[in-house]
Structure 1
């Protein structure tokens, strides 16, 4: 099925993509197509705006299968942007202020790079809090990614993030810890990319009523959930949506910042991501960057050679998780719109309206 895009211009880059043989289609005004309406709240920095759209579009498109999904693009007006960024979101996005008098089946809320020591001091904090409060009353489920996770749990339950001694970056094995419909058809152990400077811990989350679904000895908690009023809040400290080369691009960016003197910490090599030959190549490059730090050395970064043998080990489990999320919302929407059961002999059997997909009634 095509993924419908609620954008008024065919100039948007997603209209040329075709995940799994499908394409984006413009959502016609007043369209009555039965579909799941999902808002992408894209707060990523300007350089990652388009790639984040592409990642979410491709993942949702792969997960949707026979479901029809309509994506709506929003951003918080208080997110810092360049002149180009302001122009881009003006053309293709709506402000989250437009959400406050409406509802969606679900939202996916991205993080952004931290700028302040405390989340409550970020320039977008008040807008973010307003968005979270709206989501728990006006969505069936809400997905939060990376820094948005830390903001959501801080606002909802006072769970503080903790600074890590070094950036958690790489592709880490996650183990399922709880039987839950979102984990149906997901292997007992699978790999997910992480890239962050902070974390929230399992102990604090469990003490506040969260159910931890996946965790790792190396990267800590990844996926965890909690019902927040009308919405199931789903949190990923990792990045199931990442493309094959996304971590490579992030590492290259961080190395450039170090060589230019914008950051005093030389980035650590992503773990579990590169093959042995690539790791040796990158180790030699990093050693020279530390011994002879200069901006000119950035031109020698061996991006093409490093990318040659990269493999995406997380797309299949990520697709299963997002498939289960879409099915959850479809099931919830059907249940909430269902008329009350009839009394007497004509009463409807309680299971007669259940989704035909095995994800519901199975808690793998």
Structure 2
């Protein structure tokens, strides 16, 4: 099934070139299908890049997906034109009376700030609290995951001695779990962050379950026991060259950044990066969509009755 998008979304051309099936709203309404409604809260500065990465993964599903994008009304984007946000995004006030099967909260380049120093933190708390009764399944990525774990479980964010930057091995410790069904025993995931959570406290939080782990860096994928919240600190949605662009940008700006670990053949930045995580990215997103589809309510208005 195709992914339903707003008419004119610029990344549709690229998706079509990659054989990712899309359908515009005017065509979708003629089909007698209950699509899976997904809301994407895009906190990244380069919003079109993130749109493409996420839609590429969501579109590789047999389900029809109805996607809406959300942005923060209390933050002015410096990297995305206002016209793009006005045409393709909504604000909280525009969706607060609606219900969704799933919501994705992306990362954001604010991890060096304390949570309360983030300018839109109150709006973000309001949105994620609203999602507890208006969204069946929530999927938090990178800083979004750190924020949610802090907001709901008081898990602290800790600063690393040096940036975790590259592609790292993580162990699948719960292979029977539906969110990582099909994962290898060891999988690789891009990481790009200066912080980690205090994962030592996870044993004291029975509502959470660690699915994948690295002995040096802690967990990568965590879920709530009721499977309605999924947290990932890595970036399985990244393209082949995402880390390269970040490394090149830092080099151009005079930032002393190490070559991304296990990314370039022979650690040579002049060579083509290895794309080692793509299949697991598709697996994770497909598993999340499938579990959401299998367990969500047909009448989403009854979500606030769930405990």
TM-score normalised by the chain length of structure 1: 0.76
3-state SS, counterpart of residue 84 of structure 2:
helix
C-alpha distance 11-53 of structure 1, shift in aligned 2 (>3 A): closer
- 1:185 deviation in Å? 1.1
Once the two structures are superposed, what CA deviation does each residue of 1:77-108 show, in whole Å capped at 9, x if it has no partner? 12341285333211211112322211100011
Q: Distance in 1 between matches of 2:161 and 2:58?
A: 34
Asked if residue 327 in structure 1 is aligned to residue 295 in structure 2, the reply is: no
Contact 2:167 2:263 in 1 (8 A): yes
Query: Shift in Å at residue 19 of structure 1?
Result: 6.9
Choose which of 91, 108, 120 in structure 1 pairs with 2:87.
91
Deviations 1:190-224 (A, max 9, x none): 10111011111332233223101011134321100
Task: Give the structure with the higher percent strand.
Answer: 2
Consecutive unaligned residues in structure 2, runs of 5 or more: 301-307
> Is 1:181 the counterpart of 2:178 in the alignment?
yes
324-333 or 9-18, larger mean C-alpha shift: 9-18
- Which residue does the alignment assign to 1:105? 101
2:56 aligns to what?
Answer: 58
Taking structure 1 as reference, are residues 71 and 165 closer, same or farther at Cα in structure 2, changes over 3 Å only? same
Out of 191, 196, 213, which is 2:193 matched to?
196
Paired residue for 1:274? 264
State the match for 1:171 in structure 2. Answer: 167
Max Rg structure: 1
- Could you list the runs of 5+ residues in structure 1 that have no partner in the other structure? 260-264, 283-304, 338-364
1:26 matched residue in structure 2? 24
What is the CA-CA distance between 1:23 and the residue it aligns to? 2.9
Query: Partners of 1:12 and 1:117 in 2: how far apart?
Result: 32
C-alpha distance after superposition, 1:47-88 (max 9, x if no partner): x211100000111112x1x21111111111123412853332
1:1-364 matched pairs, under 5 angstroms: 1-5=1-5, 7=6, 9-10=7-8, 12-18=10-16, 21-28=19-26, 31=29, 32-45=32-45, 48-62=46-60, 64=61, 66-82=62-78, 84-114=80-110, 117-178=113-174, 179-209=176-206, 210-227=208-225, 232-257=228-253, 259=254, 266-276=256-266, 279=267, 281-282=268-269, 305-306=270-271, 308=272, 310-333=273-296
Q: What value does the CA root-mean-square deviation take over the aligned residues?
A: 2.2
Asked whether the equivalents of residues 2 and 63 of structure 2 are also in contact (C-alpha less than 8 Å), the reply is no
* Alignment: residue pair count: 296
Contact 1:15 1:24 in 2 (8 A): no
Q: Is contact 2:190-2:236 (8 Å) kept?
A: yes
Classify 1:20/1:86 alpha carbon distance in 2 versus 1 (closer, same or farther; 3 Å): closer
Query: Could you tell me how far apart the structure 2 residues matched to 1:77 and 1:29 are?
Result: 30
Change (3 A) 1:15 1:36: farther
Please list the CA deviations of residues 140-186 of structure 1 after superposition, one character each: whole Å capped at 9, or x if unmatched. Answer: 21111111111111111111100011111111111111231111111
Contact 1:172-1:218 within 8 A present in 2 as well: no
TM-score of the pair, normalised by structure 2: 0.89
